Amino acid sequence: MWFLSNSKSFQTFSIAQQLWRRTVTTKSLVYHRFGEPESVIEMVEGELPDPADKQLLIKVAMSPVNAYDLYKIQGHLHTGPKQFPYMGGSEYVGVVLKTGKAFTTYNEGDVVIPLTMDSGAWTTYKVVDESEVCRLPQEVGLQEAATMTITATTAYRLLKDFATLRQGDSIILSGANSGVGQIILQLCKLWKINSVGVVRDRPNVANLKEDLVRLGATEILTDKEIDETDLFEVYPSLKPKIALDCIGGRIGSSIARHLDKDGLMINYGEMSNEPLSIKADQFVAKDSIFMGFSLSKWMEEYMKTETQLELFDELAKEVLRKRLVAPRMELVPIDFFKDFPDALNFVNKANRKFPGNELKMIEQEIPDPVEKQVLIKILLAPVHPMDIDIIKGVYPFKPKVLPAVGGNEFVGEVTKVGELVTYFNEGDLVIPLRMNLGSWTKYMLTEEDDVYKIPADSQLKEAATIGVNTCTAYRLLKGFVNLKPGDSIIQNGANGFLGQTIHKLCKLWGIKSLGVIRDRPDVGILKQAMERLGATMVLTEKEIDTTDVYKTNCLHKPKLALNCTGGELADSILQHLDKCGVMVTYAGVSGEPFTVCASSSLIQNEQRLVGFWITKWNEENLRSPQQICMLKELNQLLQTNQLETPSMELIDFDLFKEIFEISDGPAKRFALDMTADEDVKWLGEDLCPVVPAPDCSIVCKKKGKRNDEECILRY
C-alpha cells in the first residue's frame, strides 16, 4: 500500500500555523481525462482563501493511494468524476489550521478525517465544510487515521453486513496482504473468527505468511496452494461461511469453491481485471450466494449518520488499545508522486453420455403396507438429466446404499394402504412430495407423508412432471424476485422442458419473458413454437450478444435471469440483467463454468447470484403450507387447461434401454410407461405421444411379473 505524505508528524502543523498567511499555496494532483495514472496525473498549484463560516482550512498529512483511486482515474468506476479537471484521492488525515469566524466546535490543531469518499485527498491543503469531516483523538496514529474512511470501514462492513459471524466461525479472503485484507485479519482476531487468507506466490512468501499470521490470520495459503489444499477436510471447523474477494479471476473462483454449504461470496473488487469462473453446482448443490459490496453506495446511505460516526469511534478505540494497526505502507512525498508503483500491477465439459449399461432390471417380492405405509402402482415416471447425473455420481445427492432404484418423479395409483393410513384410499392418484424415492419401478412402498393426492381425473403426463419441472418453474418465478405484471425475465435453455413451463407461467401471470436458445437449422420454426407457448421473444445465442431490445425499450430490463446451462449462455443473459437484479442458477447442463465481472455485476449494479435446488427446497418445506398451496395452484391450472406440460415420449418400462441409446439431447422429454399391464385402467388417447417417436432399436425386452412382485430399474 502507498501513501502520499505531506508531513512526518503533527509537530509540523504548529510550525505551519505560525507561518499562516492570508492565503496559502496548495499543491494538488489532478487529471483532465481518463487514462493510466502515470500518464494523466499532473501537479498543479493554486491559492486557497480563508475559510468561510462553518468551513475549515486543513493541512493534509497523509493520503493513501488506493486501488479504488486508480480505477477511477482509468475510468472504470461508475462513481468517477462528472467533469474535469478532477483531484485524485479519497481518504486522508489532516489537521485544522484555521476555522471560520462563526462559532464552531472545531479548534486549530484538531485531527480530522473525511466523512465522504470523493474528498479530493491528494493535495497539501484543503478548505472543507466542517460537516464533511470527523474529529479523532490526537493519540490515533497518522497511518491508522488515514485509512479509516475507506480501508478500515470496508473491512468492518464486509464482516458485519452480510452474515452473523460468531466466535469460532470461519472466513476465507483473497488479497489477504492488501490494505483491506490486513484490517480484516485483525478484526477477525479481535472477534475470535477464524480467517484463511490467500496471497499470490512470490520469492519471500514465507516471510509474508509469518507477518500475516502475526496480524491475526489463522492460516495463509498461496494462490497455488489453495487449489490443492485439504485444510478444510482435515479441519472442518475452518470451512468458511463467507468468502471475501477483491481479486476476481482464478483466485476469486478458487476461494468460492471452498465455501461451506449456504455460504456467501462477497466481491468488493476485481484487481485481476478477470471475471470469476463459476460452475453451476456452486449454486445448485452448495446453495452459495454471490453478492457485491460497494463502499460508495454504503456511504450514500450512511454518510454523516450516527452509524458512520459510531463505526469510526469503535475503530479509534481499538487503535488506542493497540489492538488494531494500519496496513503496512510505503510513504512517498507528494512532490515525488510519479515514483510510486502502479497499484494495479499485482504480483470442462461434463461427460453427458447416458449410463444405460449401469442399469439393469431386477424382480423382487414386495410386502403389504403396514401402519402408515401405502403401496403405489407407478403409472408414469419421467427420465430427467438429474436422474442420469445421480447414476453417474456427479449430482449433489448420492444414494446412501447401492444398489439403488433410479428416478425421482412419478404419478401413481394407491393399491393398498396400511392400517393407520387415514388420508389415502385405494384408487387415489398420487405424486411425490419429496425427491429420491426411486420412481423407476412398477410398485413402490412408501410412507403416506411422502406423497400427495391429486384429482382423480388428472392427466397422467401433466401430473408426472409436477414434482420437479413444474414446481421448479413455479419456485424460480416466485421465490427470488417480487415480479409484477409487465416485469421482464430472461432465461437460457428456453426450449428445455423446464424452460417451456417457465414461458407458460410467465404468460399466465403477465410477465414478459425473453428466451435464449442455441442456433440450429430450424431455429425459425422453434422460435415460433416458443412464442406460441408464451415467450415474448426468443433469440439465439448469437443474437442475444448483439440485441438492442432493452435499449430500445421493447422490453424492460429483466429483474430475474434464470440459468440452467452455465458457460457462455450464462454470461450472455447476465449482461442484460437489470440493476439490483437476481440471477438464479438451477442447473449446469453444459458442464462449463460461467464468468462474472465482479466490478460491474456485483459491486456497481448490486446484482445477486444465487442457486436453487428443488430437492433441498422440498425437504425444507415438506408438507408446509407453502408447498401444499403451490401444488393446489398448479393442479388447478392443469385441471382448467390454463397450463400444459411439454410433451413427452412414452417408452415402455420393459424397453428402458431405448431411452439411453437414442441420444442425450431429448432425454428430458421421455417417460417410462408402466400402464401397459392388463389390469391397469389408465389407457387411452390421453397417454399417446404428442410428437411421433423417432426410429429406435429394441435392445432388450423382459416381461415382468404382476402385482405380487416388483420390477425395478436399479444401478
- Look at residues 67, 46, 63 and name the one whose alpha carbon lies nearest to residue 114: 63
Dihedral sign computed on CA atoms, order 299, 305, 311, 317: positive
- Report which residue type is found at 552: T
Higher pLDDT, 691 or 123: 123
Residue 192 burial by Cβ neighbours in a 10 Å radius (0-12, 13-18, 19+)? exposed
Residues 425-467 pLDDT 10s: 999 999 999 888 889 999 999 999 999 999 988 888 888 988 8
Residue 413 backbone class (left: φ over 0; alpha: ψ -120 to 50; beta: rest): beta
Which residue has 446511505 as its cell numbers? 301
Question: Quick one: average pLDDT of 350-354?
Answer: 39
Task: For 15-33, write each residue's pLDDT tens digit.
Answer: 444 444 456 889 999 999 9
CA–CA gap between residue 165 and residue 401 (Å, rounded): 36
Looking at residue 589, its pLDDT comes to 78
> β-strand 649-652 against 670-673: which pairing, if any?
parallel
pTM for the complete prediction?
Answer: 0.73
Is-contact 667 354, C-beta < 8 A? yes
Whole-angstrom distance, CA of residue 392 vs CA of residue 382:
17
SS (H, E, C) 691-712: CCCCCCCCCCCCCCCCCCEEEE
Q: What tens digit of pLDDT does each residue of 224-277 get?
A: 999 999 999 999 999 999 999 999 999 999 999 999 999 999 999 878 888 888
| Nearest Cα to Cα of residue 410 among 704, 666, 673 | 673
Is the pLDDT at 341 greater than 70? The verdict is: no
Residue pLDDT, tens place only, 74-109: 887 666 677 888 898 889 999 999 999 888 899 999
Q: What letter would DSSP give residue 262?
A: T
Q: Which of 246-255, 605-614, 657-666 has the lowest mean pLDDT?
A: 657-666
- Per-range mean pLDDT, top range of 2-6, 492-496, 707-711: 492-496
Computed from CA positions of residues 126, 131, 137, 142, in that sequence, does the dihedral angle turn out positive or negative? negative
**pLDDT score for 346:** 27
Residue 683 pLDDT > 90, yes or no?
no
The kind and range of the H/E element at 475 are helix 471-478
Euclidean distance between CA atoms 645 and 638, whole angstroms: 8
User: Mapping DSSP to helix (H, G, I), strand (E, B) and coil, where does residue 74 land?
Assistant: helix
Please report how the helices 153-160 and 295-302 are oriented relative to each other, as an axis angle in degrees rounded to 10.
90
Residues 45-63, mean pLDDT to the nearest whole number: 91
Average pLDDT of the chain to the nearest whole number = 84
Q: Retrieve residue 234's grid coordinates.
A: 482435515
Instruction: Catalogue all structural domains in the chain, each as residue range(s) with its CATH number.
Output: 23-142 (3.90.180.10), 162-292 (3.40.50.720), 373-466+645-673 (3.90.180.10), 481-611 (3.40.50.720)
Work out the number of other CB atoms within 10 angstroms of the CB of residue 304: 13
User: What are the residue numbers of the active site?
Assistant: 395
pLDDT for the residue numbered 659 = 67
Across the strands, what pairs with 375?
416, 445
Grid coordinates in use for 383?
A: 427420465
Question: What is the mean pLDDT of the segment spanning 156-169?
Answer: 96
Dist CA 536 CA 102 (whole Å):
64
What is the rounded distance in angstroms from the CA atom of residue 477 to the CA atom of residue 489?
A: 9
State the SS3 of 635-688.
HHHHHCCCCCCCCCEEEEHHHCHHHHHHCCHHHHHEEEECCCCCCCCCCCHHHC
Amino acid at 200: R
Residue 713 host element (H or E):
strand 709-714
What is the pLDDT at residue 5? 62
Most confidently modeled range among 559-573, 651-665, 666-680: 559-573
**Cα–Cα distance, 63 to 91 (Å, whole number):** 6
| C-alpha cell at position 348 | 470442462
Residues 491, 573 contacting (CB under 8 angstroms): yes
Determine which of 174-183, 213-222, 361-370 has the lowest per-residue pLDDT on average: 361-370
Is the predicted pLDDT of residue 300 greater than 70, yes or no? yes
Assign 129 to helix, strand or coil.
strand
Output helix, strand, coil percentages for the chain, rounded to the nearest 5: 30, 25, 45
What's the rounded Cα separation, in Å, for the pair 298 and 294?
A: 6
Cell of 60: 493534509
Q: Which three cell numbers stand for residue 449?
A: 407423508
Per-residue pLDDT of 398-418, as tens digits, reads 777 778 888 889 999 999 999
Between CA 389 and CA 401 the distance in angstroms is 16
Collapsing DSSP to helix, strand or coil, 605 comes out as coil
- Best CA proximity match to 465, nearest among 701, 176, 672: 672
Output the CA–CA distances (angstroms, integers) from residue 95 to 22, 27, 114, 619, in the order listed. 18, 16, 11, 60
CA distance 16 to 34: 34
Which position has the grid cell 479548534?
A: 107
pLDDT at 78: 60
Residue 70 is predicted with a pLDDT of 82
Q: Using alpha carbons only, what angle is made at residue 232 by residues 620 and 612, rounded to the nearest 5 degrees? A: 30
Name the helix (H) or strand (E) containing 171: strand 170-174
Is the confidence at residue 686, as pLDDT, over 50? no
State the Cα–Cα distance between residues 178 and 34, nearest whole angstrom: 25
201-230 per-residue burial string, b: 16 or more CB within 10 A, e: under 16: eeeebeebbeebeebbbbbbbbbebbeebe
Calculate ∠ Cα 52-54-59, nearest 5°: 75
pLDDT at residue 448 in the model: 94
Closest C-alpha to 281, from 358, 223, 350: 350
Amino acid letter, 266: I
Asked if pLDDT for residue 10 goes beyond 60, the answer is: no
166-183: average pLDDT: 95
